[in-house]
Amino acid sequence: MIRISMILFTIFSYLQSNQTAINGVYKGTNCDISIALSGTKSNCSYHLKSKSNNIKGKAVISSASDGKSYNVELKGAEMAEPSELRKSSNITFSLSKDTITIQNTGNAMNYYVQLELEGCDEKYITLVKMKQ
């Protein structure tokens, strides 16, 4: 009985740590933007705020190939200038530990702009999780 309790506690703790690792408010370090993520990996919502955007919706989270980070797609948050080569026109980014990295623009072969932010023309936008 104790062994089963220990196993269930370990599984529950692992699931809680995964949920907590994603939840939080992330603020831009090089651009005026914030993204709040809340919920679980399988049922996550977001709130993206900037001077020109205030969007809420569902975030689709999948594990990245490295097994340590996540790929996140913000459903309903349309790219400013979508690419014809991308499957989705939703804003996407990577989440690793306490940092979000958005590749905001593509290149000559695959041009796109994810977010048009006033005063920010960075190729990569970095957001860091705020301490609570």
* Alpha-carbon Rg for the chain in angstroms: 17
pLDDT of residue 18: 46
Q: For residue 103, what are the contacts with CB-CB under 8 A and spacing of at least 6?
A: 93, 114, 123, 124
* Number of Cα atoms under 13 Å in the Cβ half of residue 15: 9
Q: 126 is written with which tokens?
A: 């970095």
Q: Is the pLDDT of residue 26 over 70?
A: yes
pLDDT digits (tens, 9 = 90+) for 62-87: 999 998 899 999 999 999 999 888 88
How much is the pTM? 0.81
Distance CA 62, CA 93 (A): 11
Residue range 15-25: mean pLDDT, rounded: 66
Q: CA of 131: how far to CAs of 26, 97, 98, in Å?
A: 9, 13, 10
